[in-house]
Amino acid sequence: MKIQFLGGAREVGRSCVLVETRSDRVLFDYGVKLSEGQQPLYPGKINGTLDGIILSHAHLDHSGHVPAWFANSKTLLFATQPTVDLANLLWADSLKIAEYEDYHAPYLKGHINKTNKNTYIIPHYKKEIPIADESMLTFFDAGHIPGSAMCYLNTNEKNLLYTGDINFGETNLLKPAEIPDKPVDVMMVESTYAGKEHPKREKTEKTFAESVKSHFETGGHPLIASFAIGRAQEIMMIFKKYNIDAPIYLDGMAQKATMAIQQSPKFVKDSKALNKAVQDVTFVKSQKMRQEIIKEPGLIITTAGMLQGGPILYYLLELNNNPLAKLFLTGYQVEGTNGRKILNDEPVEIDEVELPLKIAWEHYDLSAHADWPQLQKLVKKMNPEILFCMHGQEANCELFANWAKEELGIDAYAPMKNESFSF
């Protein structure tokens, strides 16, 4: 068996792992690495044919390059229904961004259609599906976003577990990830938070809700920057749980993502609770409506979560000088993004113009990734022969691999991009 890391190696972005046995050839994920105003970075080149692409979840760092495969070749895509629905939203949006930013997109709309025609929907978790001559795939709930999966591949050589992005903490929207009850020889694990422990989730959530509430009650405009998938729905559910009696608005791609998630009720923890939370929320449908709603106090949940585009930039420009407004960041802010610039007290950049930030802000990391104790526990439990630590900054991947080697005696690596391993 040969495993090659074509992306997501010592980085967060363009996750892609090629697995080859004597009979089968499959990919785990085919993502892109986004960079502001520029063409994304793509995984390493794949020569030859594939028996299948296994998609762990919809986020672009895992799914973003999938239609590009179908632009030149054929294969089958294996994913859950919410993953397919949400990835379609993101793929269509990526095409729009490429056009707006004026760079070459590696696929066209027709290739998204071709992808959909060649997609096999995995109906639910824990169902074993034959995907190639000698390989069986089983998805386990990864607890990260709706439809997200840990991918277990049973081959005639080794048994593999590719975690994708995982979260073992329970949220309002999702159940925690489930630990696969299968023997694992080779494991590929995400390392986003290796070495870092999350603060207590419930406390973060409570402080966030109370701060938004009290800010609104003093006549303010809480502007909540949110990721479209998972986070926006979680925030609506938090506001419902804490009985925040205020007009709540949802803007940007979070609207379509919410509707897509509502269409797959079995992939959320409590679909009734989600629907109730969404009922209280007004969807912002036009620019005129945006201009109206900021005249009165209200809660605005909008994309993009890292302030890279989306309606949030309109609100930010309008509310920046308003002493009654406050910006709430609700997730991890990647290096180089406007969100990270805010955390670093640097001016943000909107359409290549610098904007010094006057608006007050607070940051809450309502993380959807496993933290260090959870990652350690998972590796101990699965106890693989070989461990590959990926999907993290270089130092985090190395730290994780060193820990597994020294503490558990596992043959562990932080692979380099394009590095391959045979066993």
CB of 411 to Zn ion, least distance (A): 25
> 394-408 and 372-382 are packed helices; what angle lies between their axes, rounded to 10 degrees?
40
327 vs 370, which CB is nearer to Zn ion?
Answer: 370
Binding mask of the shown chain, residues 156 to 185, with x at each position contacting Zn ion by CB under 5 A: ---------x--------------------
Provide, for the chain, the percentages of residues in helix, strand and coil under a 3-state DSSP scheme, each rounded to the nearest 5. Answer: 30, 25, 45
* In contact, 27 and 76? CB cutoff 8 Å: no
Whose Cβ is closer to Zn ion: residue 61's or residue 234's?
Answer: 61
| Min separation Cβ 142 and Zn ion, Å | 9
DSSP state of 229: T
Torsion of CA 296, 297, 302, 305, to 10 degrees: 140
Smaller CB separation from Zn ion, 86 or 294 = 86
Q: How far is the CB of 43 from Zn ion (least distance, A)?
A: 13
Measured CA to CA, the distance from residue 32 to residue 276 in angstroms comes to 35
Scored b (16 or more CB within 10 A) or e, 377-406 reads: ebbeebebebbbbbbbbeebbbbbbebbee
Q: How many residues does the chain have?
A: 423
- C-beta separation of 177 from 370 below 8 A: yes
* Smaller CB separation from Zn ion, 51 or 165: 165
| Residue (106 or 147) nearer to Zn ion, CB | 147
Measure the CA angle with vertex 197, ends 191 and 201; round to 5°: 110
In angstroms, give the least distance from the CB of 396 to Zn ion. 13
Among the listed residues 4, 3, 6, 2, the one whose alpha carbon sits nearest the alpha carbon of residue 31: 6
Give the residue with the Cβ less far from Zn ion, 44 or 298: 44
Task: Tell me the number of residues near Zn ion by CB under 5 A.
Answer: 3
Asked whether position 29 contacts Zn ion by CB under 5 A, the answer is no
Give the shortest CB-228-to-Zn ion separation in angstroms: 12
Task: Find the helix or strand (DSSP H, E) in which 224 lies.
Answer: strand 221-225
Q: DSSP labels for 267-307?
A: GSS-HHHHHHHHHTEEEP-SHHHHHHHTTS--EEEES-TTS
Least distance to Zn ion, CB of residue 86, Å: 11
- Site mask, Zn ion, residues 269-308, x = CB under 5 A? ----------------------------------------
Question: What does each C-alpha distance from 352 to 36, 185, 308, 361 come to in angstroms?
Answer: 11, 49, 12, 22
Q: How far is the CB of 148 from Zn ion (least distance, A)?
A: 7
Q: Please report how close the Cβ of residue 112 comes to Zn ion at its closest, in angstroms.
A: 20
Q: Which is nearer to Zn ion, 59 or 326 (CB)?
A: 59
For residue 371, what is the DSSP state?
Answer: -
Taking CB under 5 A as the criterion, which residues in 55-94 touch Zn ion? 59, 61
Name the minimum Å distance from CB 143 to Zn ion: 11
Cross-strand bridge partners of residue 251: 302
How is 4-44 classified by DSSP, letter by letter? Answer: EEEESSSSSS--EEEEE-SS-EEEE----EEETTEEEE-PP
Identify which of residues 59 and 290 has a Cβ nearer to Zn ion in the complex. Answer: 59
Residues 378-397 that bind Zn ion (CB under 5 A): none
Neighbours of 15 (CB within 10 A): 34
Rg of the chain on CA atoms, in Å: 21
Per-residue tokens: 249: 């608005």
Residue nearer to Zn ion on the CB measure, 29 or 205: 29
CB of 30 to Zn ion, least distance (A): 13
**Candidates 51-59, 262-270, 277-285, 350-358; binding stretch for Zn ion (CB under 5 A):** 51-59
Report the residue number, 159 or 396, with the smaller CB distance to Zn ion: 396
Residues that bind Zn ion (CB under 5 A): 59, 61, 165
